Structure 1
Amino acid sequence: MPGWISWLTGMFSAAPPAERAPESRLFNPVPTPRGQASDTPDHAHQLEHHLFCWLLDTEPRALTADISAHAGVLERLGQRLRAGTLEELPRRPLSLPMLMRALSDENTGRQALTDTILQDPALTDQLLQVANSPYFRPPDHTIESVDQAVFLLGIEGIRDVISATLMRPMMAARNSREALFARRCWLWGLACARASEIIARSRNQDASAHFMVGLLPALAYLTLRRELARLCPSGPDGRELEPALVRHAIACYQWATCQLLANEWSLPPKYHALLLTAERPAPDQPNTALSDGMLMGTREVLRNAHQRNLGEDELRALVSLGDETFAQVRKALRQILQEG
């Protein structure tokens, strides 16, 4: 997609030569209208800080430690990202193009979709495992075949299962050092994806696209952590990557990495657009479904893990959701997290 490649090239070519790249924000709720002062706490920033504490299993002060000694590592990471040469960037799943074509065709029937999935035995086994997880399995049902999965979940439901199935192997921990981080990223990604999907459906938007895009930040986080591990492997004392370094690298490059993933996988332009509007919301417009989904997913994951987060009133002030949708998302996430 030349248009998106050009956009990415232009964005990175203007990167300043500073030792530390400027941070981007994960949560970008609609800003205060121009000319109107705001003396309220930055709850979105607080929520992001709590998220990093949990993902990195560290205390708040560790996230603000001095990382000036790692300026060279961060610069090399930025260079690799600008050049599109991240060694840990996941390559496109082999089954993705075939499945994207089948799922994007409104005329694709249940049997045709089942036959497409069955062409990949490994995908079939993984799909059944994911379909039987608390995030997807219908109440009181065990899904034993692809045909049954498509029948019980429907075309839209099976799209979400396929997205999660394709992403799951990439999110699996490679070693004990990244195990906790990978597991928490996967849980957080699923929660954000499900919340984004529900909100998008309530707005008559493409729910399946929002589900897949909702998973990308979690994969981007793990990708950046793995790239850092390549750039500064632990010494003989076995020390882990410094939380402040991981946090800063992610904060600088999270959205750019999401865009590179979408580009590497040749996802349709609307996926890029969903990411871009979440990163750079339009003034005087409600939050996007992806932005609200990530806020809701993050808050509920942290609440379920008994971590510091936001109160309900603080969260309500950040999201652009009506009472009914807010309650629906919260109920769905709490049920899934409790069961899982």
Structure 2
Amino acid sequence: MPGFISWVSGLFAKKPPVQTMQETRLFNHPASEPSASEDSSAKAPPRLEAHLFCWLLDVQPAQLKKTASSADKVLAELERRLQTNALEELPRKPGTLPMLMRALSAETTDRKHVTDIILSDPSLTDQLLQVANSPQFKPGDYLIESVDQAVFVLGLNGIRNVITAAVMRPMMAARNSSEALFAQRAWRWGLTCARSAEMIARIHNDDTSAHFMVGLLPSLAYITIRREVAAICRAQNIENEPEPALFRLALAQHQWATCQLLANIWALPPKYHAWLLSAERPAPKQENWPLLDGLLVGTREVLRHARQRNLAEEDLLKLVHISPQQLDQVRAAVLTMLKDGKTDQ
């Protein structure tokens, strides 16, 4: 932990004061064409992120540009808490997660062993059955009634993603009416990005289940940051609901550091940290793209399905590292998941 916290602190130490702190884009794309114009695909990711914030926060673009009167104090306290590992709203590591990760990654693991681990945690058992029967995962029209049936029907590969979603879902459930729509949309966005990253990882012959999990981390980071900002406002006796512009600043400035912190406190393998870092700071010649491409495709499709402003087709094709035919396959699977899921409010 000290080493990681020092790394995070070092990042913050090199940044300017809160008032002018540089935002860390969710979608970064290395400029591979020196002659790219101002209106080229290099400008597309920031626009996509702005559209995502508008949808998640349910506001018009002008509302995100307003200056919140309390922004400096709140953001300074949020930065301090991140530096000192003092976030009040940081989700705790689920007790069965390390054991499940070891079991699911072992080549000799059998179905009974995985079932026994899940059944040892009653809350996880309930969540798993709910998720397994949700439109995003249900393999057919019949009801999955037991953990053993879920493992049998979905297989060890399929059950990995259901377990990941079951572990994270309670952490992202709305706690009150003020965050209900944000939490609902963040969960929907997270699942879409995770499924996109999983499918793109399969195209690249990479670890599909691990990319599904890491694809969910940004959405969990978003709900964590939103809750932390609200908690800071209460502690500072700010009576009104935090303004959307304040939430946007907090998300844009601290999204990647929060993802890394989540991966660290959950003791996820080093490759998760590497994937997060390569998505935050991609290099033109790097080889690992599933997470960044999954975020791009997932965000674009969830916004398109919600009839929101998003990324032009030609810009998306310039940015992702898969062929148009492969993109169509990913999009078709994601669209089926979105159509089968509940309609956004």
- With the length of structure 1 as denominator, give the TM-score of the two structures: 0.94
Q: CA deviation at 1:239?
A: 3.7
Report the Cα distance in structure 2 between the residues aligned to 1:208 and 1:13, rounded to whole angstroms.
Answer: 35
Report the Cα distance in structure 1 between the residues aligned to 2:225 and 2:238, rounded to whole angstroms.
Answer: 23
Q: Is the 8 A contact 2:27 2:46 kept in 1?
A: yes
Q: Is the 8 A contact 1:193 1:210 kept in 2?
A: yes
Q: CA deviation at 1:317?
A: 1.8
Report the Cα distance in structure 1 between the residues aligned to 2:295 and 2:223, rounded to whole angstroms.
Answer: 17
Q: Deviations over 1:260-286 (max 9, x none)?
A: 001111111111111111001012346
Q: CA deviation at 1:287?
A: 6.5
Alpha-carbon RMSD across the aligned residues, in angstroms, is 2.0
Report the Cα distance in structure 2 between the residues aligned to 1:125 and 1:186, rounded to whole angstroms.
Answer: 18
Matched, 1:240 2:241: yes
Match of 2:283 in 1: 282
Whichever residue aligns with residue 327 of structure 2, its letter is F
Q: CA deviation at 1:213?
A: 0.5
Q: CA deviation at 1:95?
A: 1.3
Match of 1:39 in 2: 38
Aligned partner of residue 317 in structure 2, secondary structure: helix
Match of 1:26 in 2: 26
Report the Cα distance in structure 2 between the residues aligned to 1:235 and 1:262, rounded to whole angstroms.
Answer: 29
Q: CA deviation at 1:7?
A: 2.9
Report the Cα distance in structure 2 between the residues aligned to 1:211 and 1:160, rounded to whole angstroms.
Answer: 7
Aligned partner of residue 234 in structure 2, secondary structure: coil
Q: Is the 8 A contact 1:32 1:38 kept in 2?
A: no
Q: CA deviation at 1:16?
A: 3.3
Whichever residue aligns with residue 247 of structure 1, its letter is R
Which runs of structure 2 are paired with 1:1-340 in the superposition (5 Å)?
Answer: 4-33=4-33, 35-41=34-40, 42-67=43-68, 69-233=70-234, 239-285=240-286, 288-340=289-341
Q: CA deviation at 1:24?
A: 0.5
Q: Is the 8 A contact 2:18 2:75 kept in 1?
A: no
Q: Is the 8 A contact 2:48 2:311 kept in 1?
A: yes
Whichever residue aligns with residue 135 of structure 2, its letter is P
Report the Cα distance in structure 2 between the residues aligned to 1:181 and 1:110, rounded to whole angstroms.
Answer: 36
Report the Cα distance in structure 2 between the residues aligned to 1:147 and 1:300, rounded to whole angstroms.
Answer: 33
Q: Which piece of structure 1 moves more, 2-11 or 159-168?
A: 2-11
Runs of 4+ in 1 over 6 A off after TM superposition: 234-238
Q: CA deviation at 1:5?
A: 4.4
Distance 1:115 1:69, change over 3 A: closer
Q: CA deviation at 1:193?
A: 0.3
Q: Which piece of structure 1 moves more, 43-52 or 282-291?
A: 282-291
The number of aligned residues is: 339
Q: Provide the identity percentage.
A: 60
Report the Cα distance in structure 1 between the residues aligned to 2:252 and 2:309, rounded to whole angstroms.
Answer: 20
Q: Is the 8 A contact 1:234 1:240 kept in 2?
A: no
Aligned partner of residue 157 in structure 1, secondary structure: helix
- With the length of structure 2 as denominator, give the TM-score of the two structures: 0.93
Q: Is the 8 A contact 1:20 1:75 kept in 2?
A: no
Report the Cα distance in structure 1 between the residues aligned to 2:70 and 2:102, rounded to whole angstroms.
Answer: 48
Distance 1:2 1:229, change over 3 A: closer
Q: Is the 8 A contact 2:5 2:84 kept in 1?
A: no
Whichever residue aligns with residue 38 of structure 1, its letter is S
Q: Deviations over 1:209-259 (max 9, x none)?
A: 100011110011111111111111399997422111100110000000000
Q: Which piece of structure 1 moves more, 209-218 or 307-316?
A: 307-316
Q: CA deviation at 1:114?
A: 1.2
Distance 1:3 1:32, change over 3 A: same
Segments of structure 1 that go 5 or more residues without pairing to the other structure are none
Distance 1:287 1:59, change over 3 A: farther
Aligned partner of residue 322 in structure 2, secondary structure: coil
Q: Deviations over 1:177-228 (max 9, x none)?
A: 0000000000000000000000001111011110001111001111111111
Distance 1:4 1:156, change over 3 A: farther
Q: CA deviation at 1:30?
A: 3.1
